[in-house]
């Protein structure tokens, strides 16, 4: 189906957070992914929107970016994942002074993984604060527009992957990133919001500083990885598992870092 360019909506939009369909003759078995079947009614949860913000600076080359993409694939298609088949996936990358939208509103089964791999080409510099502010602004605009047009509300998840200190942001500081995340509370087309900063191989003091400044709301989480020497892909899988644990079980998850990192 055609994408209308309004941020993750294909075909006919649902005007409510949930659409209820009456059953016929007792219980129903729902053919839809992510549905809840009752005796005489089936409730179809509206698709959630997932925004991935990926660091493609030079230090992310090799097994690190490979681990991010494999972990992303695994999270989408794991039987225990919170990502459903009718959800939409949008991917941004950041490096140097650029923030790029490399994939927009694709369902998991429609993603061209070879193209995504090409679009996550490694460059120089880490401009994470610029990227967070830009993408949060994009989400707010997209959701606000859809709510104004169709009273459409969605659950929104945002995930930022990085392995280093911000060295290249020119427009925004950590305080700017903190301010916009603090104001991403539900409203204007967002029924629920969660943000995950996933740091790999970062020194613990920097991770603690990010947590102190950025984690001002319960919906903002930091997951730190880098515990299995020589196994980046395994570390990334643990980090994605941590996201699903937080979302589905409502409890914190910690991936221990190596000493001295």
Alpha-carbon torsion (103, 109, 112, 117), positive or negative: positive
Spatial distance between the Cα atoms of 43 and 10, rounded to a whole number of angstroms: 20
DSSP for 175-202 reads: HHHHHHHHT--SBTTEEEEEEEEEEES-
Alpha-carbon torsion (145, 12, 196, 161), positive or negative: negative
Please list the rounded mean pLDDT of every run of 10 residues in the chain (261 residues): 43 32 34 46 75 94 88 79 90 95 93 93 93 97 91 92 91 97 92 92 87 93 71 73 78 42 31
How many Cα atoms are found within 13 Å in the side-chain-facing hemisphere of 44?
19
DSSP state of 3: B
Fold category of 47-249 in CATH: Rossmann fold (3.40.50)
pLDDT at residue 246 in the model: 84
Q: Which residues contact 53 (CB under 8 A, 6 or more apart)?
A: 92, 93, 94, 131, 132, 135, 158, 159, 160, 161
pLDDT at residue 80 in the model: 73
Please tell me the pTM assigned to this model: 0.78
E strand intervals along the chain: 18-22, 35-37, 41-45, 49-55, 88-95, 98-106, 154-162, 190-200, 220-225
pLDDT at residue 90 in the model: 96
pLDDT at residue 128 in the model: 97
């Amino acid at each position: 189906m055609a994408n209308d360019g309004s941020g993750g909506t294909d075909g006919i939009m649902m005007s409510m957070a949930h659409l209820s369909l009456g059953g016929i003759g007792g219980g129903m078995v729902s053919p839809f992914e992510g549905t809840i079947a009752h005796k005489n009614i089936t409730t179809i949860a509206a698709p959630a929107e997932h925004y991935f913000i990926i660091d493609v600076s030079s230090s992310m080359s090799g097994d690190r970016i490979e681990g991010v993409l494999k972990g992303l694939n695994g999270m989408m298609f794991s039987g225990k994942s919170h990502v459903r088949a009718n959800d939409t996936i949008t991917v941004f990358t950041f490096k140097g002074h650029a923030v790029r939208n490399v994939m927009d509103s694709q369902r998991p089964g429609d993603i061209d993984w070879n193209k995504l791999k090409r679009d996550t080409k490694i460059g120089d510099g880490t401009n994470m604060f610029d990227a967070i502010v830009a993408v949060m602004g994009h989400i707010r605009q997209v959701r606000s527009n859809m709510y104004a047009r169709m009273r459409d509300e969605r659950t929104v998840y945002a995930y930022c992957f990085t392995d280093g200190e911000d060295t290249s942001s020119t427009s925004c500081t950590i305080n700017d990133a903190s301010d916009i995340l603090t104001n991403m509370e539900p409203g204007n087309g967002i029924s629920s919001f969660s943000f995950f900063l996933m740091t790999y191989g970062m020194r613990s003091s920097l991770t603690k500083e990010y947590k102190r400044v950025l984690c001002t709301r319960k919906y903002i989480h930091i997951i730190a990885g880098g515990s299995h020497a020589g196994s980046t892909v395994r570390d990334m899988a643990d980090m994605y598992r941590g996201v699903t644990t937080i979302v589905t079980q409502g409890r914190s998850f910690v991936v221990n870092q190596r000493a001295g990192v």
